[in-house]
Each structure stands twice: as C-alpha cells, then as structure tokens.
Amino acid sequence: MRVPQEHFPVLWLGQAAVVSLPAEVDIALADRVREDLLSILNRGPAALIVDMGKTTFCDSAGMHALVRAHKRASASQADMRLVVTAPAVQRVLAITGIDRLIPVSPSVSAALAAAGPAAEGKKARPAQAPPREDPDDRAPQFS
C-alpha cells in the first residue's frame, strides 16, 4: 500500500499528527492544504494539530480548506485544533467565527495538551472508509 506524500511537513506524535502550514495560505495553496489535511485524516489520527504558527496570511479559500478538514475530522471522531500566532490570522478566524468551530491554541504544545488523551497515544481506531464527499460541502459553511 502506497502512503501518500503530503506537500506540507507532518510530524506524528503517538496518535496525533502535527501539520505545519506555510506563511501564506491562499487560493493558490488552499486545494493542497485541503487535500493534505484530508489525506492525513484518512490515516486515522486521534488528533490533528494544524500548525499555523508561521502563517501570517490566510484568505477565504484557506479558511474553507480548514472548515472542510474540520468536517472530516468530526465525522472521523478526530480532535482537530489550530495553532495560530499571527494577529491577522486570528482576526480572520474571529470575524468568520471559525475560532468558535475549531479550537485555537497559541502553541503546538498547548494544542497537544488540550487534545489530552487523543494526543497521548490513545489506541488507534480501525481504519474505515472516508466519508463520501457531499457536493454541498464545496460551499463555505462557517457555522
């Protein structure tokens, strides 16, 4: 079985996957971000930490990619958390309400601690088929 190669660095800590995103997450990268996050979620982590600590800009396409990944994480019963330090990104998350949908932490260590047992190597769940993509999921739904 071939393991997909992600475009962004992924660090596995027990059952937690920490994905580091670049300085700018915009329309040019949003599809890659979404594909990578969904690919990682298909491997069954108990927690997905999206490290946006170096991200200083994230447009609506990037936000949509995060929301899609959160929907998949929820369907898979995985805990998804964002690490955000840039005020501009925090502001966009607050304006769109995404910070109420996806928990935000100031550091990877804080996100892992908040994820609790999921990040500490909770027993892996059996692999299952990913949920089918709903055509309505293509439209942004932030609430």
- In tens, the pLDDT along 44-87 reads 999 999 999 999 999 999 999 999 999 999 999 999 999 999 99
CATH 3.30.750.24 fits 10-123, yes or no: yes
- In tens, the pLDDT along 98-130 reads 999 999 999 999 999 999 875 665 444 433 444
Q: Where are the domains of the chain?
A: 10-123
Pairing, β 47-52 against β 16-20: parallel
Give the chain's length. 143
